[in-house]
């Protein structure tokens, strides 16, 4: 075994892909069977063995209750999210409640956190790639949907930690695809990446200037993808069968799984053929013996079923293009990424919308992993000659007691970024202040996703409205939020700044990641760390919610992209600024940064 390898991993909802840069060329790593995609499926069989990837997929039809599909959709979700019910309508595995309102999945008799499920997939991808490379993989860049919120991003980072993988950086899937398309080509182009995968839809508008990849706007839906098309078709097939035989195939997990699998195959056939046959022998037992399912679906019938879902994606597309402030005629290339873009109706709608045929410049299944590999290689071997300038996908706000939100960062704000807000107290001698953070496009708290909470303890005694708390909200280049707070009158500052979304203390299975031969370095490590070391969730019920100080202006947006020195951009190392800065400098941000630097210096001394 030689030196450790660095790879890019596209951790997909349905399929995952791993890629590497070798001799300056990115390539996808196949498994020993020659397949370039790894099913993102985890199962526990009747003997208690944990299975991942192809092995899990192979047994899924006979073990649907203990086989987890599409787990990425549950990552970073709250157990009370309406999404849970929707998942349960289509997938047969059992969802359990964790002790912190988090989602767990029950496999046989044990409950697994979503971070563990994702860690098992990451570990399997690593082992598969190691077998092919004959080298240990030590580091990776992992991709996430652009539309992932803070909590989901944290969960993916945590999965990397559980898998004992050094995640150099997480990057957005469309941005990675843009990298695969444009890196090293010296392009000056405005492009759209339209990424319709198995579970999520993402769209980003980017400007490419040599090796600077600047996202102008992004949007998406983490609940819109190929599995929804499969489910639509399966719903139709099940309804037809019920009408003919008065048997509900959805009631039997095995039959339901067989129908869904056959529908995915039929959907794929319909991308190249005008009709597809769904033929499943012995699907149920009728009064006169076993029944077969035999149905033909025409392409226009299928298109009618999925039309509203494709339209949903096109509505998001129109909104994102509008928010990019670019005309459609300014968009030079439209890249189609993700397996669902092979559906002719999808490609047709995209072409109609942009008034031009989409580009064939990238491979729809491989582009994201290749882009991640290029980024990983750049971070480790080329002193980061790439500059990724991404944006926040969803508004980030504070939940106010009246049920409304107070915006902190609007969607499409460039990242990294930093803002300060000043709050005051609402009671005499109030000594703590709690902020609850949410992400969503609505101004109503209950229509947004809760992200976490932050409590500042250490306000000096004062009459209500007299004390002040300065809170600094920082989003790093991965779109992850951290917070710090300070009482300017006493200089007391909250330490251990990050309490958002990582605050849940979870325990993980001790034997989750097995050391794998022949990577000797790992053999010594029988067990990995599984306990999150972050602070326990703050029980902050007693801490009153903040009252903004109307007269205290929040600090100006200190965007890295806008020229002001921004918080360290490094996932590993900060990319050098491009030769031609994108935007003129914004000196207005300097004051805040100087002050923050001052605080830290003061703290150190
Ligand atoms: N020829 C085809 N026609 C229609 N759909 C296809 C075709 N090939 C693959 N798909 C579908 O594409 C989806 C997988 O795409 P992809 O691998 O890009 O998604 P993913 O990375 O798993 O998901 P996501 O990016 O949403 O997390 C599956 O739903 C699969 O059925
Ligand atoms: Mg994908």
For ligand 1, atom 17: residue with the closest CA: 15
- The top-scoring range by mean pLDDT among 46-50, 89-93, 189-193, 462-466 is 189-193
**Residue 175's closest CA among 450, 323, 372, 349?**
372
Under 8 Å between Cβ of 405 and 43: no
Whether residues 128 and 254 share a domain: the answer is: no
The residues lining ligand 1, judged by C-beta closer than 6 Å to any ligand atom, are 12-15, 72, 197-200, 225-227, 264, 267-268, 271, 338-340, 342-343, 365
Main-chain phi, psi angles of 438, to 5 degrees: -135, 160
598 occurs within a structural domain: yes
Q: Which helix (H) or strand (E) holds 375?
A: helix 367-381
Distance of CA 570 from the midpoint of ligand 1 (Å): 32
Is the confidence at residue 539, as pLDDT, over 70?
A: no
Whether residues 473 and 595 share a domain: the answer is: yes
Distance of CA 494 from the midpoint of ligand 2 (Å): 39
What atom of ligand 1 comes closest to residue 15's alpha carbon?
Answer: 22
With a pLDDT cut of 90, the percent of the chain lying above it is 70
458 vs 252, higher pLDDT: 252
Active-site residue identified among 31, 57, 72, 136: 72
HSE toward the beta carbon, residue 138, CA cutoff 13 A: 10
Q: Please give the average per-residue pLDDT across 497-517, as a whole number.
A: 62
What pLDDT is stored for residue 511 in this prediction? 81
Planar angle of CA 397, 399, 403, nearest 5 degrees: 130
Whether residues 64 and 201 share a domain: the answer is: yes
Tell me the two tokens of residue 545. 């919610």
Is the confidence at residue 535, as pLDDT, over 60?
A: no
Tell me the two tokens of residue 251. 């009631």
User: What domain range includes position 50?
Assistant: 5-222+333-388
Out of 220, 223, 339, give the residue to mutate to test ligand 1, the one with the largest number of ligand atoms within 8 Å of its CB: 339
* Distance (Å, whole) CA 485 – CA 506: 26
Is the confidence at residue 526, as pLDDT, over 80?
A: no
Distance of CA 331 from the midpoint of ligand 2 (Å): 23
579 occurs within a structural domain: yes
- What would the pLDDT profile of 321-357 be if each residue is shown by its tens digit? 999 999 999 999 999 999 999 999 999 999 999 999 9
Tell me the two tokens of residue 239. 């309804």
Residue indicated by tokens 């947004």: 448
User: What's the gap between Cα 570 and its chain centre?
Assistant: 20
Is the confidence at residue 54, as pLDDT, over 80?
A: yes
* Distance (Å, whole) CA 407 – CA 33: 50
Q: Please give the average per-residue pLDDT across 310-325, as a whole number.
A: 98
- The top-scoring range by mean pLDDT among 65-79, 84-98, 404-418 is 404-418
The side-by-side arrangement of strands in the sheet containing 432-439 is: 405-409, 396-399, 432-439, 449-457
Whether residues 357 and 476 share a domain: the answer is: no
- What would the pLDDT profile of 2-16 be if each residue is shown by its tens digit? 578 999 999 999 999
313 occurs within a structural domain: no
pLDDT band at 382 (very low <50, low <70, confident <90, very high): confident
CB atoms within 10 A of CB 543: 20
Total residue count of the chain as it appears in this document: 605
What pLDDT is stored for residue 100 in this prediction? 73
Is 325 considered catalytic here?
no
What pLDDT is stored for residue 505 in this prediction? 59
Main-chain phi, psi angles of 482, to 5 degrees: -135, 160
* Structural domain ending residue among the three candidates 303, 324, 355: 303
Out of 234, 340, 364, 367, give the residue to mutate to test ligand 1, the one with the largest number of ligand atoms within 8 Å of its CB: 340
Is 487 considered catalytic here?
no
- What would the pLDDT profile of 366-377 be if each residue is shown by its tens digit? 999 999 999 999
pLDDT band at 496 (very low <50, low <70, confident <90, very high): very low
For ligand 1, atom 8: residue with the closest CA: 339
401 occurs within a structural domain: no
Whether residues 257 and 342 share a domain: the answer is: no
CB atoms within 10 A of CB 537: 15
User: What's the gap between Cα 421 and its chain centre?
Assistant: 28
Tell me the two tokens of residue 349. 């709608």
DSSP 39: E
What atom of ligand 1 comes closest to residue 364's alpha carbon?
Answer: 18
* Distance (Å, whole) CA 570 – CA 378: 12
Surrounding ion ligand 2 within 5 Å at CB are: 12, 197
- What would the pLDDT profile of 154-204 be if each residue is shown by its tens digit? 999 999 999 999 999 999 999 999 999 999 999 999 999 999 999 999 999
Active-site residue identified among 173, 390, 431, 470: 173
Active-site residue identified among 31, 116, 123, 195: 195
What pLDDT is stored for residue 454 in this prediction? 85
What pLDDT is stored for residue 156 in this prediction? 95
* Distance (Å, whole) CA 37 – CA 53: 9
Under 8 Å between Cβ of 495 and 601: no
Tell me the two tokens of residue 158. 């945590």
What pLDDT is stored for residue 90 in this prediction? 76
**Residue 259's closest CA among 536, 419, 35, 64?**
64
Tell me the two tokens of residue 94. 């059992």
Domain count for the chain, please give it.
Answer: 3
What pLDDT is stored for residue 23 in this prediction? 92
pLDDT band at 512 (very low <50, low <70, confident <90, very high): confident
**Residue 380's closest CA among 8, 1, 121, 128?**
8
With a pLDDT cut of 70, the percent of the chain lying above it is 82
Whether residues 230 and 210 share a domain: the answer is: no
Of 78-92, 330-344, 413-427, 447-461, the least confident = 78-92
* Distance (Å, whole) CA 452 – CA 150: 9
Whether residues 133 and 120 share a domain: the answer is: yes
Domain CATH code at residue 253: 3.90.640.10
For ligand 1, atom 11: residue with the closest CA: 339
Mean pLDDT of the chain, nearest integer = 84
Whether residues 468 and 568 share a domain: the answer is: yes
pLDDT band at 1 (very low <50, low <70, confident <90, very high): very low
35 occurs within a structural domain: yes
What pLDDT is stored for residue 566 in this prediction? 31
493 occurs within a structural domain: yes
Is 195 considered catalytic here?
yes
Tell me the two tokens of residue 433. 């202040």
Domain CATH code at residue 456: 2.60.34
492 occurs within a structural domain: yes
Domain CATH code at residue 197: 3.30.420.40
| Alpha helices for 96-172 (secondary structure H) | 114-133, 150-162
523 occurs within a structural domain: no
Whether residues 177 and 292 share a domain: the answer is: no
Tell me the two tokens of residue 339. 């397996």
* Distance (Å, whole) CA 242 – CA 245: 5
* Distance (Å, whole) CA 190 – CA 416: 21
Distance of CA 198 from the midpoint of ligand 1 (Å): 4
Is the confidence at residue 515, as pLDDT, over 90?
A: no
Is 173 considered catalytic here?
yes
* Distance (Å, whole) CA 178 – CA 185: 12
211 vs 578, higher pLDDT: 211
Please provide the DSSP assignment of 224-288 as one string: -SHHHHHHHHHHHHHHHHHHHHS--GGGSHHHHHHHHHHHHHHHHHTTTSSEEEEEEEEEEEETT
What pLDDT is stored for residue 495 in this prediction? 53
For ligand 1, atom 25: residue with the closest CA: 197
pLDDT band at 518 (very low <50, low <70, confident <90, very high): low
Distance of CA 582 from the midpoint of ligand 2 (Å): 29
**Residue 574's closest CA among 559, 560, 588, 563?**
560
Whether residues 285 and 142 share a domain: the answer is: no
Whether residues 292 and 411 share a domain: the answer is: no
Out of 198, 305, 309, 364, give the residue to mutate to test ligand 1, the one with the largest number of ligand atoms within 8 Å of its CB: 198
**Residue 18's closest CA among 117, 137, 175?**
137
Whether residues 43 and 134 share a domain: the answer is: yes
- What would the pLDDT profile of 122-164 be if each residue is shown by its tens digit? 999 999 999 999 999 989 999 999 999 998 999 999 999 999 9
């Amino acid at each position: 075994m030689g030196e450790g390898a660095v790879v890019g991993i596209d951790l997909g909802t349905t399929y995952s892909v791993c890629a590497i840069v070798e001799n300056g060329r990115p390539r996808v790593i196949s498994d020993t069977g020659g397949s370039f995609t790894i099913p993102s499926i985890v199962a526990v069989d009747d003997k208690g063995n944990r299975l991942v990837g192809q092995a899990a997929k192979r047994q899924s039809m006979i073990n649907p209750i203990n086989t987890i599909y599409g787990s990425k959709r549950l990552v970073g979700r709250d157990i009370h999210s309406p999404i849970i019910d929707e998942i349960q309508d289509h997938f047969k595995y059992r969802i359990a409640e964790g002790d912190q309102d988090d989602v767990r999945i029950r496999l046989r008799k044990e409950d697994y956190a979503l971070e563990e499920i994702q860690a098992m997939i990451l570990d399997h991808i690593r082992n598969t790639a190691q077998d092919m490379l004959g080298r240990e993989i030590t580091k990776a860049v992992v991709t996430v949907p652009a539309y992932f919120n803070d909590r989901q991003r944290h969960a993916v980072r945590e999965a990397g930690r559980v898998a004992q993988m050094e995640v150099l950086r997480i990057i957005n899937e469309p941005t990675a695809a843009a990298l695969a398309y444009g890196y090293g080509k010296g392009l000056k182009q405005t492009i759209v990446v339209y990424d319709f995968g198995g579970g999520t839809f993402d769209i980003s508008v980017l400007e490419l200037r040599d090796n600077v990849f600047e996202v102008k706007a992004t949007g998406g839906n983490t609940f819109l993808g190929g599995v929804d098309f499969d489910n639509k078709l399966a719903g139709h097939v099940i309804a037809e069968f019920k009408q003919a035989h008065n048997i509900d195939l959805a009631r039997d997990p095995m039959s339901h799984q067989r129908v869904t699998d056959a529908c995915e195959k039929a959907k794929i056939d319909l991308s190249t053929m005008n009709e597809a046959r769904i033929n499943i022998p012995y699907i149920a037992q009728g009064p006169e013996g076993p029944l077969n399912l035999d149905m033909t679906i025409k392409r226009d019938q299928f298109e009618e079923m999925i039309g509203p879902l494709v339209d949903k994606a096109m509505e998001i597309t129109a909104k994102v293009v509008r928010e990019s402030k670019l005309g459609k005629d300014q968009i030079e290339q439209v890249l189609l990424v993700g397996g669902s873009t092979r559906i002719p109706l999808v490609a047709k709608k995209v072409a109609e919308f942009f008034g031009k045929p989409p580009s064939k410049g990238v491979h729809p299944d491989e582009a994201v992993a290749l882009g991640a590999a290029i980024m990983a290689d750049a971070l480790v071997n080329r002193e980061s000659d790439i500059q990724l300038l991404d944006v926040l996908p969803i508004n980030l706000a504070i939940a106010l007691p009246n049920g409304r939100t107070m915006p902190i960062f609007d969607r499409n704000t460039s990242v990294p970024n930093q803002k300060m807000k000043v709050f005051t107290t609402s009671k005499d001698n109030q000594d703590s202040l709690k902020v609850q953070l949410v992400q969503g496009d609505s101004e109503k708290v209950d229509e947004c996703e809760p992200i976490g909470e932050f409590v500042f303890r250490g306000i000096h005694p004062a009459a209500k409205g007299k004390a002040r708390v300065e809170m600094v909200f920082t989003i790093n280049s991965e779109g992850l939020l951290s917070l710090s707070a300070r009482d300017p009158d006493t200089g007391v500052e909250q330490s251990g700044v990050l309490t958002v979304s990582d605050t849940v203390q979870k325990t993980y299975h001790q034997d989750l990641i097995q050391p794998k031969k022949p990577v000797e370095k790992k053999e010594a490590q029988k067990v990995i760390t599984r306990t999150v070391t972050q602070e326990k969730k703050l029980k902050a019920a007693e801490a009153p919610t903040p009252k903004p100080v109307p007269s205290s202006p929040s600090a100006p947006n200190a965007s890295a992209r806008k020229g002001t020195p921004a918080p360290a951009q490094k996932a590993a190392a900060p990319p050098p600024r491009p030769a031609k800065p994108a935007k003129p400098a914004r000196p207005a941000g300097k004051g805040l940064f100087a002050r923050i630097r001052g605080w830290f210096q003061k703290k150190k001394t």
